[in-house]
Amino acid sequence: MRTSMKRVFLFLLTNLAVMLVLGVVLSIVMSVFGLSNRSLGGMLMIATVFGFGGSFISLFMSKWMAKKSTGAHVITQPRNETEHWLVTTVAAQAQKAGIKMPEVAIYDSPEMNAFATGPSKNNSLVAVSTGLLHSMSQDQAEAVLAHEVSHIANGDMVTLTLIQGVVNTFVIFAAKVLAGIVDNFINSNNDEQESGNSWTYFLFDMLFQVIFGILASVIVAYYSRQREFAADSGAAKLVGADKMRSALERLKQNHPSQLEGSMMAFGIASGKGMAELFSSHPPLDARIDALRK
């Protein structure tokens, strides 16, 4: 319970800080270029700053956020045989994949899961849960680590951030344009009402952002699912397809994932019961079949 409250508090505090920073940046940019909030150029600037800015700030903070939200312990000096094996295994896989050695961490959770995060291929983190280490064989755990290293080597974190930035920008811009059209239509006979400053504008702006945001999440989730297949394939090249299939078979007995945000997107397993269109991970059976092929 305390961990969940900590995650919520950290999430809210971080997002508030991001919004304040982006608000200041936006004010400066709008002032420099002399843009109005209600002009097309102004709306595009707002959409770009908040769409890409939020995504890239989240990317640069991803390692710090992951450590804080999960309470992960980064292994600097291995304290036991398990930690020594983890560091040695990730180092060998990273060298084979052609990336700089990621930070390796363990976080306390009964679920079988792991995730990769970080702003670049050469500044990354691979974390595994205690539940995974206790419940999987060494070969299966090795395959999971290879899956996460493959995410890093493929540059999935950066590419997903770019895609998220593009869809966020489109969502914000399209919502503001359509809200302005609806507002002008509703208040066309009200000469005293300045266009774009009525309650109807703000209402429809929020409404369209929610609707377009849901549709855009389908696009991001589709990309994420494709990258899961690629990471599985990369893991098969690093440690062998049999080990990767075995790890996925073991994950079929897993509980729903408690990872959030980008950590869920680059974890090994996702929650159950979500509609497939909105899921960041393909069904495990589909991933196993892909490896067989």
Q: Rounded distance, CA 258 to CA 68, Å?
A: 15
- Give the model's pLDDT for residue 279: 82
pLDDT exceeds 90 at position 2: no
| Residue 188, token pair as written in the block | 């066309």
Residue 148 lies in a domain: yes
Tell me the residue type at 285: D
Q: Find out whether 148 and 115 touch, Cβ atoms under 8 Å.
A: yes
Residue 6 pLDDT class (50, 70, 90 cuts):
low
DSSP 191: T
Radius of gyration of the chain measured on its C-alpha atoms: 22
Q: Where are the alpha helices (DSSP H) in the chain?
A: 2-33, 40-60, 62-70, 81-97, 130-135, 138-153, 156-186, 199-239, 241-251, 261-265, 284-292
Are 250 and 114 members of one domain? no
Q: Is residue 264 predicted with pLDDT exceeding 80?
A: no
User: Would you place residue 25 in the very low, low, confident or very high pLDDT band (cuts 50, 70, 90)?
Assistant: confident
> Of these residues, 83, 103, 111, 148, which one is catalytic?
148
Query: What pLDDT does residue 280 have?
Result: 82
For residue 183, pLDDT beyond 60 = yes
In this model, does residue 26 exceed pLDDT 70?
A: yes
Residue 176: what are its φ and ψ, rounded to 5°?
-70, -40
- Mean pLDDT of all residues belonging to the chain: 85
Q: Residue 184's pLDDT is what? A: 85
Residues 6+ apart with CB under 8 A from 205: 175, 176, 179
pLDDT of residue 281: 85
Per-residue pLDDT tens digits for 143-159: 999 999 999 999 999 99
Cα 168 from Cα 52, distance rounded (Å): 7
Identify the CA nearest to 170 among candidates 211, 203, 199: 211
Which has the minimum average pLDDT: 107-116, 212-221, 275-284? 275-284
In this structure, of 81-85, 97-101, 265-269, the range with the lowest mean pLDDT score is: 265-269
Residue 245 half-sphere exposure toward CB, CA atoms < 13 A: 10
Asked if residue 160 and residue 119 are part of one domain, the reply reads no
Are 277 and 177 in the same domain? yes
Handedness of CA 159, 278, 114, 283 (dihedral sign): negative
Range 63-77 average pLDDT: 91
Q: Taken in order 28, 33, 36, 37, is the CA torsion positive or negative?
A: negative
Return the pLDDT at 8. 61
Q: Is residue 18 part of a domain?
A: no
CATH number at residue 150: 3.30.2010.10
- 136 Cβ contact partners less than 8 Å away, ≥ 6 residues apart: 112, 144, 247, 250
Same-domain check for residues 100 and 219: no
Residues 47 and 132 in one domain: no
Are residue 60 and residue 100 in the same domain, yes or no? no
Alpha carbon distance 202, 166 (integer Å): 22
Per the CB < 8 A criterion, the answer to whether 154 and 59 are in contact is no
Give the model confidence (pLDDT) of 222-248 as tens digits: 999 999 999 999 999 999 999 999 999
3-state secondary structure string, 267-293?
ECCCCCCCCHHHCCCCCHHHHHHHHHC
Q: Is residue 95 part of a domain?
A: yes
- Numbered residues of the known binding site for Zn(2+): 147, 151, 228
Annotation marks residue 192 as catalytic: no
Higher pLDDT, 255 or 108: 108
Domain boundary among 154, 175, 205: 154
Q: Are residues 129 and 236 in the same domain?
A: no
Q: What are phi and psi of 128, to 5 degrees?
A: -125, 150
Domain around 103 = 70-154
102 and 119 housed in the same domain: yes
pTM score of the predicted model: 0.84
**Cα gap 147→156, rounded to integer Å:** 12
Residues 162 and 145 in one domain: no
- The two three-digit tokens of residue 86, written as one number: 């983890």
φ/ψ region of 249 (left if φ > 0, alpha if ψ in -120 to 50, else beta) reads: alpha
**Same domain, yes or no: 167 and 246:** yes
